[in-house]
Amino acid sequence: MKIYDIIAKKRDGFKLTKTEIEFVINKYTSNKIPDYQMSALLMAMYLKGLDDQEITDLTLAMAESGDMIDLSEIPGIKVDKHSTGGVGDKTTLIIAPIVAACGVSVAKMSGRGLGYTGGTIDKLESIPGFKTQISQEDFINIVNKIGACVVGQSGILAPADKKIYALRDVTATVESIGLIAASIMSKKIASGCDAILLDVKVGDGAFMKTYDDAVKLANKMVSIGKMVNRNVRAIITDMNQPLGNAIGNSLEVIEAIKTLKNQGPKDLTELCICLASNMIYLAKKQSLADCEKQVRDVLKSGKAFDKFIEIVKAQGGDESYIRDVSKFNKAKFSYNIIAERSGYISNINAQLCGAASMVLGAGRATKEDSIDYASGIILKAKTGDFVKKGDILAVLFTFEQEKINQAQDLVSSAISFLDTKPTKNKLIYNII
């Protein structure tokens, strides 16, 4: 078998066999296919497309290119949740304790932030002492003891995807629905869960800019799940403005704690209730209404908050910060963004807010960059709100005063106004 022939076959619009796909993935992962040939193949895949069988074969080949995590020592159905990425998305911090408090195990591997999207692992590490690098044995023991554990990737999970994603990033081949579906699902399958809930974001702060593309991506991932015997559900949700009010690591942890105390922002609370209910539904097979009732009960009774404390303690974090959030370190400088006119907020561009938060020090431009946990943005108004000239729209936090001007320009340009009340986007568009 020759890589040249496989490239030519895809270039001419033919379907690749499982054996050809496995050949490409194995040889590329072991550095026996050079980047220039893999780039040509990825571009042919991007332009000619992949059918469902090819996407499934690609997913499995990438999943099996590294460690396949075995969670069989955790009894019951293990449900994972994956968000396709957004700004201010701290849902894992809230959902993991809610779902565990409802009796469903959450054994979750999460990532770090890169570019304008934040990562759950960075957020958790802003809690002093919190450990996210935990051995496989301890990970399983914690889940079995308290029902949830959230760690960074252990072992080598889908190394083929890691290598291919880095190449796609520099060869203009990221925005292919088939390649994105295979990339996400390969990591989820390798991480060992039985069922997967996908939060597919749509909007200006998401990979999928249109509803139709989000539905296509969701359908592809659900059908990959069927073909590999995983129960997969996808929820299409809005990312036309940041989720909640806080953007930035410890700022988001503080907002997550408020939400676990049932005092969080409306949009974040609504989305977390929906995602957690659907995760429990996948695991328990009870009616969705019953699952939602359980979620609301653990939020009201404080059991979800108590479970978060248990998780923090089990992973070495200092629980006193969770009980008293005023203990979190504060940024050295803060700056208010003031409304220059009265009117209704018609849009808050999530991508620009994410970029501003990164400038302030909350995110990384490259994997090697360090981050300031207390930097970021608190939005004081959201889409649909009426503000008067002179009101505070947002507060910026940073340790580097010289970053404020650039961040201020980004946030100011992210916020648009109308004289009349705009029709609000739905938060949850569809369940697939």
Which residues are identified as catalytic? 82, 161, 168, 183, 187
Q: Phi and psi for 42 in degrees, rounded to 5?
A: -60, -40
DSSP single-letter state for residue 425? P
Q: Is residue 114 at the binding interface for ligand URA, with CB under 6 A as the rule? A: no
Report, in Å, the least distance between residue 95 CB and ligand URA. 19
Is the Cβ–Cβ distance between 29 and 35 less than 8 Å? no
Q: Hey, which residues does 377 pair with through a beta bridge?
A: 247, 396
For ligand URA, what does the binding mask look like between residues 131 and 170, x meaning CB under 6 A?
A: ----------------------------------x-----
> How far apart, in whole angstroms, are the C-alpha atoms of residue 339 and residue 123?
29
Q: Which of 183, 269, 294, 315 binds ligand URA (CB under 6 A)?
A: 183
Q: Is residue 180 at the binding interface for ligand URA, with CB under 6 A as the rule? A: yes
Closest to ligand URA by CB, 180 vs 239, is 180
**Part of the chain binding ligand URA (CB under 6 A), chosen from 172-180, 259-267, 299-307, 328-336:** 172-180
> How far apart, in whole angstroms, are the C-alpha atoms of residue 379 and residue 348?
10
**Part of the chain binding ligand URA (CB under 6 A), chosen from 69-77, 173-181, 327-335, 403-411:** 173-181
Q: Is residue 101 at the binding interface for ligand URA, with CB under 6 A as the rule? A: no
Closest to ligand URA by CB, 180 vs 193, is 180
Q: Is residue 55 at the binding interface for ligand URA, with CB under 6 A as the rule? A: no
Is the Cβ–Cβ distance between 249 and 112 less than 8 Å? no
Report, in Å, the least distance between residue 6 CB and ligand URA. 21
Pairing of the two strands 79-83 and 195-202: parallel
**Part of the chain binding ligand URA (CB under 6 A), chosen from 133-141, 178-186, 244-252, 282-290:** 178-186
Distances (CA, A) of 242 to 37, 183, 305, 403: 39, 24, 23, 21
Q: Which residues touch 362 (CB under 8 Å, ≥6 apart)?
A: 118, 247, 248, 249, 251, 371, 372, 373, 375, 376
Is the Cβ–Cβ distance between 344 and 269 less than 8 Å? no
Q: Is residue 347 at the binding interface for ligand URA, with CB under 6 A as the rule? A: no
Closest to ligand URA by CB, 179 vs 254, is 179
Closest to ligand URA by CB, 179 vs 411, is 179
Report, in Å, the least distance between residue 187 CB and ligand URA. 6
Closest to ligand URA by CB, 160 vs 180, is 180
- Which among 352, 378, 55, 102 is positioned nearest to 219, based on CA atoms? 55
Q: Is residue 404 at the binding interface for ligand URA, with CB under 6 A as the rule? A: no
Binding to ligand URA (CB under 6 A) within 191-210 occurs at 207
Closest to ligand URA by CB, 230 vs 258, is 230
Q: Which tokens sit at 115?
A: 């570019």
The residue behind tokens 């992949």 is 50
**Part of the chain binding ligand URA (CB under 6 A), chosen from 175-183, 189-197, 345-353, 392-400:** 175-183
Rg (CA), the chain: 22
Q: Hey, which residues does 347 pair with through a beta bridge?
A: 416
Q: Which tokens sit at 260?
A: 């676990």
Binding site for ligand URA (CB under 6 A): 165, 174, 179-180, 183-184, 207
